[in-house]
């Protein structure tokens, strides 16, 4: 959460470089943004008085700066608010009292209160309501103290410009005090350096010639440099125009071996193409991605199959949409491979790790590979000696680096905050893995091929028109209920999530059998009830659920391979055996997307959400 980007170097358009970087990171947070900048004349001795700041609330996507500003030293931030409302003052960067240090932050400083009180009593002037601002004032406080000590020690009369070492120490001491998971980037006018530190939240350094970059995601750096260093937790870096050095936060020791990775694969932002929205494009990408998974699956697929076969307990872990893919995995493995696979949402897994051993396999599912609840879960599992596999879309992400084996989804960039194609790609892999466990991979391929045809049927003008007509009805209600059994249960949950996050209508997915245990009390005349009714053993019982809702006045939308008189609206999908879950999910995605449009909401960036959830 929160996108951060920094630049120091030979170019004179640092503000624009940072602005463009932030645009590629906007999916990490988009309630406000800001850039701190200045121009350093390296040969001139004259002091720069203060750092300049641009801050705005709202999205950064379409922003073009009206005037050209000369700058070669800048950092910027797109915010997803945690502490303090969405205001210009609360937007980052934050400045110290002298306006010579600027800071951007991703994370939560859990002990900010105690530090803030201390700094206020020392005379610091706070301008915002954020936890972040304590960081910049604490650094200022440390820096001033350390500078004074230095002068005293050397008995100097004239203070020399800091070469960066004092500033680095000031940031290190401050960072050591912060409780929680944080990443900060701080620029200092005096030493003309940037210092970055991380614990939990991601940070990547990019090395150029006479210039260096910093960002929260590697793809933001790709257009500038391919020499990347993924900072580890408890590392602190000093970045100047022509130097990058890494130190240990705990003891301040310099790391002598710093291996930059040469990025070989491209992570190109796909753009929207001819589509109105990223979400729509990503929905339409799905047949192509599934086809690619069938024809050219990731090379680690077989390795994961072997690991599952030999493990004593496999656990699927993910959050949100990825968690529903995990839950679906339990049904798929049970049905196809006759295997009991456990499942947990990332944030709960840490409380369940007691039963893990060094024979356990934990398979983490994540589009971004940066979701903190998953990362934390994996770290805990590692302490138990479990083997870690990851199914992930973003190359080089934290999860990839933490795991022993990775299956890349190769789904292309997923830019819409609402996840679509990463979900169906995960389902396709789970199906392929299950069939591979029983040495019947071709059977899986055959069903997935059928699912492509079915998705293409749905992504057709007539079908979309039908859903568009339906959403006009759905939009009249505040609550939508969605039922499914077996394989369709996770799809009911996922479809409800798509509707909630894209359109802000309350939708509730549940196991059809649970209807009569409580939820049915909410059904009244006209209540929209969506039922997934595939051609499997759940059909009869789920249909009974649909009938029960109809009997209470419910408006029944049947998503099924055949029509039925109980349906007020019928959305057909082909029967593709177990792979029917894929077209079913696509119908749920379209319902969310079209409902959002009907309500005038941009489904690419729904309120309160961010693409990478890197805070707890
Ligand atoms: C829903 C959505 C979120 C993510 C969740 C996990 O549309 O996008 O629920 O699925 O935050 O994200 P990843 O997959 O990046 O770990």
pLDDT tens digit sequence for 519-532: 899 999 999 999 99
Pocket test for ligand 1, best of 420, 606, 613 (most atoms within 8 A of CB): 613
Give the mean model confidence (pLDDT) for residues 23-48: 84
pLDDT digits (tens, 9 = 90+) for 541-563: 999 999 999 999 999 999 999 99
Q: Which atom number of ligand 1 is nearest to the Cα of residue 418?
A: 7
Q: Does residue 610 contact residue 1 with C-beta atoms inside 8 Å?
A: yes
611 labelled catalytic: yes
Q: Which atom number of ligand 1 is nearest to the Cα of residue 613?
A: 11
Q: Does residue 431 contact residue 447 with C-beta atoms inside 8 Å?
A: yes
Which residue of the set 2, 326, 400, 576 is catalytic? 2
The answer to whether residue 370 is domain-embedded is no
Report the separation in Å between the CA atom of 503 and the middle of ligand 1, taken as the mean of its atom positions. Answer: 16
Which residue of the set 43, 335, 611, 616 is catalytic? 611
User: How many domains does the chain fold into?
Assistant: 1
**Alpha-carbon span 529 to 482, nearest angstrom:** 6
**Alpha-carbon span 163 to 190, nearest angstrom:** 8
Beta carbon of 368 within 6 Å of any ligand 1 atom: yes
The answer to whether residue 39 is domain-embedded is yes
For the whole model, what pTM was predicted? 0.87
Task: Express as a percent the part of the chain with pLDDT over 90.
Answer: 81
The answer to whether residue 49 is domain-embedded is yes
Beta carbon of 613 within 6 Å of any ligand 1 atom: yes
Which residue's structure tokens are 């997803």? 80
- The two three-digit tokens of residue 124, written as one number: 């610091």
The answer to whether residue 116 is domain-embedded is yes
The answer to whether residue 399 is domain-embedded is no
The range of the structural domain enclosing residue 10 comes to: 3-262
The answer to whether residue 120 is domain-embedded is yes
Give the confidence band of 49 by pLDDT, cuts at 50, 70, 90: confident
Beta carbon of 501 within 6 Å of any ligand 1 atom: yes
pLDDT digits (tens, 9 = 90+) for 273-327: 899 999 999 999 999 999 999 999 888 999 999 999 999 999 999 999 999 999 9
- Of the candidates 175, 193, 15, 27, the residue with the CA atom closest to the CA atom of residue 105: 175
- The two three-digit tokens of residue 417, written as one number: 């905050």
The answer to whether residue 368 is domain-embedded is no
Beta carbon of 321 within 6 Å of any ligand 1 atom: yes
CATH of the domain at 234: 3.60.20.10
Backbone angles phi, psi at 55, to 5 degrees: -140, 140
pLDDT digits (tens, 9 = 90+) for 71-127: 999 999 999 888 889 999 999 999 999 999 999 999 999 999 999 999 999 999 999
Task: Express as a percent the part of the chain with pLDDT over 70.
Answer: 98
Q: Which atom number of ligand 1 is nearest to the Cα of residue 394?
A: 15
- Burial (CB count <10 Å: 0-12, 13-18, 19+), residue 80: buried
Backbone angles phi, psi at 484, to 5 degrees: -165, 160
Beta carbon of 190 within 6 Å of any ligand 1 atom: no
Q: For residue 127, count other CB atoms closer than 10 A to its CB.
A: 11
The answer to whether residue 47 is domain-embedded is yes
Lowest mean pLDDT among 3-17, 45-59, 296-310: 45-59
Give the confidence band of 445 by pLDDT, cuts at 50, 70, 90: very high
2 labelled catalytic: yes
Residue 265 has pLDDT above 70, yes or no: no
Q: How far is CA 68 from CA 14, 57, 71, 143, in A?
A: 10, 21, 9, 32
């Amino acid at each position: 959460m929160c996108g951060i980007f920094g630049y120091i170097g030979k170019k004179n358009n640092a503000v624009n470089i940072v602005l463009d970087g932030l645009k590629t990171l906007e999916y990490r947070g988009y309630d406000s943004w800001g850039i701190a900048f200045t121009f350093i004349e390296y040969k001139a001795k004259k002091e720069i008085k203060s750092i300049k700041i641009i801050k705005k609330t709202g999205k950064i996507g379409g922003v073009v700066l009206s005037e050209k500003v000369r700058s070669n030293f800048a950092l910027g931030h797109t915010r997803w608010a945690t502490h303090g409302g969405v205001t210009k003052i609360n937007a980052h960067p934050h400045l110290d009292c002298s306006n010579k240090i600027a800071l951007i932050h991703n994370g939560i400083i859990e002990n900010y209160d105690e530090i803030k009180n201390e700094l206020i009593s020392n005379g610091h002037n706070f301008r915002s309501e954020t936890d972040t601002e304590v960081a910049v004032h604490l650094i200022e406080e440390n820096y001033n103290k350390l500078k004074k000590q230095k002068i005293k020690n050397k008995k100097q009369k004239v203070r020399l410009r800091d070469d960066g070492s004092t500033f680095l120490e000031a940031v290190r001491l401050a960072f050591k005090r912060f409780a929680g998971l944080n990443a900060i980037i701080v620029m200092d006018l005096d030493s003309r350096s940037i210092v970055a530190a991380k614990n939990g939240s991601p940070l990547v350094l990019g090395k150029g010639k006479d210039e260096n970059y910093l960002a929260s995601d590697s793809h933001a750096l790709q257009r500038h440099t391919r020499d990347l260093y993924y900072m580890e937790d408890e590392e602190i870096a000093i970045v100047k125009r022509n130097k990058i050095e890494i130190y240990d936060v705990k003891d301040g020791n310099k790391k002598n071996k710093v291996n930059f990775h040469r990025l070989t694969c491209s992570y190109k932002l796909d753009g929207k193409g001819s589509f109105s929205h990223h979400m729509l494009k990503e929905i339409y990408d799905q047949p192509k991605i599934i086809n690619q998974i069938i024809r050219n699956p990731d090379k680690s697929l077989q390795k994961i199959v072997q690991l599952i076969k030999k493990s004593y307990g496999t656990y699927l872990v993910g959050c949100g949409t990825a968690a529903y893919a995990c839950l679906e995995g339990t049904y798929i493995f049970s049905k196809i491979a006759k295997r009991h696979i456990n499942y947990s949402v990332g944030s709960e897994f840490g409380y369940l790790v007691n039963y893990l051993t060094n024979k356990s396999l934990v398979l983490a599912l994540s589009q971004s590979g940066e979701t903190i609840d998953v990362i934390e879960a994996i770290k805990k599992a590692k302490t138990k000696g479990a083997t870690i596999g990851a199914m992930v879309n973003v190359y080089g992400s934290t999860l990839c680096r933490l795991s022993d084996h990775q299956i890349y989804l190769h789904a292309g960039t997923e830019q819409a905050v609402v996840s679509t194609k990463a979900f169906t790609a995960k389902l396709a892999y789970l199906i392929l893995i299950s069939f591979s466990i029983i040495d019947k991979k071709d059977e899986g391929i055959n069903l997935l091929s059928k699912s492509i045809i079915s998705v293409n049927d749905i992504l057709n003008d007539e079908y979309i028109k039908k859903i568009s007509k339906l959403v006009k009805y759905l939009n009249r209600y505040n609550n939508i209920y969605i039922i499914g059994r077996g394989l369709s249960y996770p799809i009911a949950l996922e479809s409800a999530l798509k509707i909630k996050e894209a359109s802000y209508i309350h939708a509730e997915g549940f196991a059809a059998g649970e209807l009569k245990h409580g939820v049915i009390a909410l059904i009244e005349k006209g209540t929209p009830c969506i039922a997934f009714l595939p051609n499997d053993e759940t059909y009869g019982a789920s249909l009974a659920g649909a009938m029960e809702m109809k009997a209470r006045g419910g408006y029944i939308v049947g998503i099924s391979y055949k029509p039925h008189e109980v349906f007020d609206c019928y959305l057909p999908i082909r029967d593709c055996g177990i792979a029917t879950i894929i077209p079913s999910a696509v119908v749920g995605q379209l319902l969310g997307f079209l409902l959002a449009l009907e309500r005038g909401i941009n489904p690419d960036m729904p309120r309160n959400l961010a693409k990478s959830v890197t805070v707890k």
